[in-house]
Each structure stands twice: as structure tokens, then as C-alpha cells.
Structure 1
């Protein structure tokens, strides 16, 4: 009952502060609002950005080892040694496919360059030729929007069948149904058997095939010299079989490739083995730094706001000195006076924190309407964190003024 009376009086005094000198109170609470805006805004933006990036990277698969010429991480080694390495090629793919007991899938792809497509009078330039083995759709979960994937007979026979990326198909055919149509590429005729789903609006998309022209390796090998390791960059992907760790898969890959490439025991590996966790760790480190920077900016803003709120409370104590004396003369104890001013300080800071959250919500709505590919989400945990943080700041800002008010002598307070 006593706390309710103290809380009611504190709310009345806080409202009096807000309405009595609007400009002074607004400027004083501005620091709290900006601090909460910086902390919650940055944390929300960074979390949303990290979720978007990690979700995009997850498409690469956390159970897949990618064999490349260059490592995704730790490029501090001998650059010239990396440069001299051969790109993974179809021979590597065949060696691994035949001898890998720990792999459920092995796939190979290469990008020989850009091509021009023609359909009747329409021409599209700039599409990249993506040459792949049959396992690609299962390795990378390729989604077909229209039509179908190659059949095993079409792959083995090297049929002139092509899959088009979403953008390439739209530019070449417009409103015409592309599946079943015959196009020309490099003087050869191809039947379009499928169109891939649009890559989507992810901020980072490692599997963006919107401009891809996909043909099978067995088809492309008939008119392109794909055996040249240094002319075209290629990659081999190995998906771990259930029950086997990536470490076991990497050990098998190393042994098989060193043998097939005839590397001597003292020679370094002539290939790099990469996996999703390498990028994920680097991304987490970057976002950790961004979170720290945003928190520090907000922290210093809140300190400025806390000093301003403390100033308000000192003024409030001075203005109500005689009233404090009267209350003490009537029997009010120290903790009641202390609780009254602390509660008032907390309420003022919570009001400032609420304004800060409203700024975050407003900024989020504006940014989400501008950037469709990246949506910021304000989670409930950050909203609660903002309110609790404001309350803590209120306690710290009001502790000294409330302590001075509680220790006042009743007689001297009434005389002032």
C-alpha cells in the first residue's frame, strides 16, 4: 500500500516535470532516447543482417566440402604457391566419385565464360555458361520454376538440352512460355527444358543463377576443351555421407587427390578444402565488431542522457526542499523519500527509452520500405532490453539526488 502511494506521487511529479518545462525535459531525455535508439537500432540491424547472410550461406550446406584452387580463409600463405595450383577438374571429380567411401554425393562445375543466346529475333548477351555434372540439383538443392531437370539418359548422352536462369529466360522470351522452345548458342541449337526459380531478394546470394545458362558436362565437353586446368576455373563439391564427419571426409579427399595428382610425400597439397564454417566464423567476427561499436556509441549517448536526467532530479530536489521537510516532519522516513525520487527518475528514463524505441520502429519501417532485399526485424527481446536498460539508467541517474533528498534535515529543509 505504501509503495503504491509512493509510486502514484512519483508518477504525478514526473508528469509535472514533463509538462512544467517541456523544452528542458525534452533536451534532457533526448540523450536517453538517442542512446536507446543507437543500441537497439544497431543490435536489431546487425542481427537481421547476420540472419540474412547466414541464411544465404546456409544454402552452401554445412555438410559439404568444396575443393578449390584458393582457400576461403587464411590467405596469409604463399600467394605464388596458391596461384600456381591447378584448378580442380573433371579428373578430380571422377577420382573422388570412384574412391570416396565417406561421400554421398560428388559434383563438379566450371564456368567457361559468357555466351549470347538467340531466339527468333531476340538476342540476349552476358549470360554465363555454367557447365555441371549430373549431381548439381541434389548437391545445391537447385529449384526448377518451370519444366524439369536433365534425365540421366540426357546427361549420359550429352543431349543438347539447356536450363536457363530466371532473368535470362525473361529477357529472351518475355511473355512466351520458354519450356520446349529451341534457342541458338554458339551456332548450336538447344532445347530449353527448364527455367530455374528466381534467386530471391537475399542481401548476399552465393547461388545466384538468374543469369546462368546451364548445360551438362557431357554436352559441353564435345565443343569446349574442358581438360585445360588453367583456362577455366572449376570446383568440386563433396557431400558427406550420413554418419561421417567432415574431418573424415577431408582426410579421404586429401589422400585420394594427392594420389591422383601424384604429389610426393613432402609436397604441399595443390588444392584447398573449404567449408561453410570458415565463412560463418569470419562473418560472426565481423558482426561481433559491429555490435560492439553500436553498443559503445549508444552507451556514451546514454551516459550523457543519464547526466541530464540527474540534473533534472537535482533541480526537482531543490524545488521541493521545503515539501521534503514537511513530509519528514510529518513522519516520512528516509527510504520513502529515497524511493519517491528514484521512482520519478526511473519513470523519466523509461519515457525517454520509449521514445527511443519509437524512433527505432519508425526508422525500421522507413528502411524496410526502401530496401526490399534486406528487412530489419525488431525482436521483443531488444524491446524489453531497451525498457530495462532505461530503468537501470534511471536508478543510476537518480541515486545521488534521491540520497541527498532522503538525508535532509526536516527543520533546515522547511526553512529553505
Structure 2
């Protein structure tokens, strides 16, 4: 009951401060608002960016090891060593597919370069030729918007059938139905059997096949010397069986590849085993720096705002000195006076924090309307953090003025 009375009095006094000198109060709370806006705005942007990027990278699979010539980690000092390595090739793929006990899928792909497509009088240039083995759709859960994937017989026989990316299909065929049409590529005729789903609006698109011209390895081997690994080497993806840890998968891959490449025991690996976690760790450090910048910028604004609120509270204590003396003379204890002013300070800061959150919502709405491919959302966690942070600032800003009010001598206070 006592707390409710104190709360009611504090709300009334806070409202009096807000309405009594609107400009002074607004300018004082502006620091809190800007501070909360900076911190929560940056946290919301970073969280949204992290979710977007993590969702994009998740398409690569967290249980897949990627075998490449180059490591994903920055090892610029070893550039020459990596440059001299051979690319993974189809022979490596065959060895892994045959001997890997811990893999559920092994797939190989390479991108020999760009190609031009022609359909009747229409032609498209700049599409990249994507040569792949049969397991690609299952490794990356590729979605086909129109048509179908290759059959096993079509892959084995190297049939002249291709899949097209969403963008290159639209550019070549327009409103026409692409599936079943015959196109020319490099003087060869191909039947379009499928069109891939659009890549979407992710900021990082590891599987952006919108401009891809996909053919099977067995088909491409007829007109490209894919055995030349230095020119047409690619990447191998190995997906672990359910329950197999990544470390065991890497150990199995390392043993088979070293044997297939006839490496001596003392020779180092001439290939890189990459995981999604490597990229995620690097991005995590980047996001951490962004968060720290938001806290630093917002922290300075909040300090300025807290000082301003403290000044408001000192003025409030000064204006109500005689009233404080009367309350203490009538038996009000120190903690009641202390609680009253602290609550008033917290309410003022929470109002400033809510102003900052409203500003975050407004700015993010404008950004989301302008950039539809990347949405920034204010999560409940960040909103609560903003309110809690405002309350903490209120306690810190009001602690000294409230303590000063609580320590007043009632007689001296009534005389002032």
C-alpha cells in the first residue's frame, strides 16, 4: 500500500516536471532517447543482419565439409603454398564416394566460365556454366520452380539436358514456358528440363544460381577437358551421415585424399577442409565489433542524458525542499523520500527510453520500406533491454539527488 502511494506521488511529480517546463525536460530526455536509439538501433540492425547471414549460410549445411584448394580462413602469409596446390577434381570425388564410410553424400562441382545461350532469335550472354555431379540437389536442397531434375539415366548417359537459373530463364524466354524448349550453347543443342527457384533477397547468397546454366559432369566432359584440374578444378562437398561428428568426417576425408594423391607421411595436406563454422566465426567477430560501436556511441549519449536527468532531479529537490521537510516532520522515513525521488527519476528515464524505441521503430520502418531485400526488426528482447537500460540510468541519475533529499533535516528544510 505504501509503495502504491509513493508510486502515485512519483508519477504525479514526473508528469509535473514534463509539463511544467516542456523544453527543458525534452532537451534533458533527448540524450536518453538518442542513447537508447543508438544502442537498440545498432543491436536490432546487427541481430537482423546476423539472422539474415546465418540463414543464408545455413543453406550450405553445418554438417558438410567443403574440400577446396584455398582455406576459408585468412592465411595470406601462406598464399604461395596454397597457390601451388592442385584443385580437387573428379578423381578425388570418385575416391571419396567409393571409400567414405562416414558420408551420406559426396558431390563435386566446377564452374568452367561463362557461356552464351540462344533460343530462336533471342540470346543471353554472361550466364555461368555450372558443371555438377548428380548429388548436388540433395546436398544443398535445391528447389526447382518449374520442371524437374535430371534422372539417374540422364546423368549417367550425359544427356544434353540442362537446368537454368531463374534470372537467365526469364531473360531468355520472357513470358514463354521454358521447360521443354531447345536452346543452343556452344553449337550444341540442349533441352531445358527445369528452372531453379529464385535465390531470394538474402544479403549473402552462397547458392545464387539465378544466372546459372547447369549441366551434368558426364555431359560437360564431352566438350571440356575437365581432367585438367589446374584449369577446371572445382570443389567437393561431403555431407556427414546422421550422428557422425564433423571431426571424424574430416579425418576420413584427410586419409582418403592423402592416399589418393599419394602424399608421403611427412608431407602436409595439399588441400583445405572448410566448414561453415569458419565463416560463422569470422562474421561473429565482425558483428561483435558493430555491437561494441553501438554501445560506445550510445553510451556517451546516455551519460549526457543521465547528467541532464540528474539536473532535473536536483531542481525538483530544490523546488520541493519545504514539502520534504513537512513530510519528514509528519513521520515520513528516509527510504520513503528516497524511493519517491528515485521512482520519479526512473519514470523520466523510461519515458526517454520509450521515445528512443519509438524512434527505432520509425527509422526501421523507413529502411524496411526502402530496402525490401533486408528487413530490420525490433525484437522483444531488445525492446525490453531498452526499457531496463533506461530504468538503470534513472536509478543512477537519481541516486544523488534522492539521497540528498532523504538526508535533509526536517526543520532546516521547512525554513528554506
TM-score bracket for the superposition, by shorter chain length: over 0.9
Between the aligned partners of 1:348 and 1:103, the Cα distance in structure 2 is: 60
Q: Does residue 22 of the first structure (1) align with residue 22 of the second (2)? A: yes
Query: 3-state SS of the aligned residue for 1:230?
Result: helix
Write the mapping of 1:176-187 to structure 2, written as runs, cut at 5 A.
Answer: 176-187=176-187
Where does residue 63 of structure 1 map in the other structure? 63
Aligned to 1:145: 145
Q: 1:253 — aligned with what?
A: 253
**How far is the alpha carbon of 1:340 from its aligned partner?**
1.3
Provide the residue aligned with 1:51 in structure 2.
Answer: 51
Aligned residue in 1 for 2:158: 158
Structure 1 position 46, deviation (Å): 0.7
Partner SS, residue 60 of structure 1:
coil
Residue of structure 2 equivalent to 1:308: 308
1:41 aligns with: 41
Q: How many residues align?
A: 416
Give the corresponding residue for 1:134.
134
Alignment of 1:178-257 (within 5 A): 178-257=178-257
Counterpart in 2 of 1:124?
A: 124
Alignment partners' CA distance in 2, 1:384 and 1:5: 26
Partner of 1:106: 106
Q: Tell me the equivalent position of 2:378.
A: 378
* RMSD across aligned positions (CA): 1.1
SS at match of 2:230: coil
Aligned partners of 1:203 and 1:12: how far apart in 2?
Answer: 49
Deviation of residue 333 (structure 1)?
Answer: 2.2
Q: Is the 8 A contact 2:226 2:233 kept in 1?
A: no
Q: Distance in 1 between matches of 2:245 and 2:329?
A: 76
Partners of 1:233 and 1:97 lie apart in 2 by 17
Measure, in 2, the Cα distance between the counterparts of 1:173 and 1:186. Answer: 18
Matched, 1:367 2:367: yes
> Which is further off, 253-262 or 207-216?
253-262
Matched with 1:273 is 273
> Helix, strand or coil for the counterpart of 2:387?
helix
Q: 2: CA distance between counterparts of 1:240 and 1:6?
A: 63
- CA distances 1:243-296 after superposition (whole Å, capped 9, x unpaired): 322212211211111111111222111111111111111111211221122122
How many Å separate the matches in 1 of 2:53 and 2:132?
26
Give the alignment of 1:336-351 within 5 angstroms: 336-351=336-351
Residue deviations 1:11-32, cap 9 Å, x none? 1111111111111101100111
1:292 is aligned to 292
Runs of 4 or more, structure 1, over 3 Å off, are none
Question: What is the alpha-carbon distance in structure 2 between the residues aligned to residue 402 and residue 255 of structure 1?
Answer: 71
5 Å-filtered alignment, 1:83-102, equals 83-102=83-102
1:74 CA displacement: 4.1
Query: How far did residue 76 of structure 1 move?
Result: 4.4
**Which piece of structure 1 moves more, 144-153 or 321-330?**
321-330
- Matched residue SS, 1:169: helix
Q: Is this contact kept in 1: 2:148–2:194, CA < 8 A?
A: yes
Q: How far is 1:326 from its partner?
A: 2.1
Instruction: Please give the alpha-carbon distance, in whole angstroms, between the structure 2 residues aligned to 1:263 and 1:33.
Output: 63
Question: Which secondary structure state, in structure 2, belongs to the residue aligned with residue 203 of structure 1?
Answer: coil
The separation in 1 between residues aligned to 2:68 and 2:220, in whole angstroms, is 21
1:399-410 alignment runs, 5 A limit: 399-410=399-410
SS of 2:123 mapped into structure 1: strand
SS at match of 1:78: helix
- CA shift at 1:347, angstroms? 0.8
SS in 2 for 1:236: strand
Asked if 1 retains the 8 angstrom alpha-carbon contact of 2:124 and 2:171, the reply is yes
1:337 Cα deviation from its structure 2 partner:
1.5
Post-superposition offset of 1:77: 4.6
Does the Cα contact within 8 Å between 2:44 and 2:377 map onto a contact in 1? yes
Q: Which runs of 5+ in 2 are unaligned?
A: none
Distance 2:76 2:161 in 1: 43
Give CA-to-partner distance per residue, 1:183-213, whole Å, 9 cap, x none: 0111111000000000011111100000000
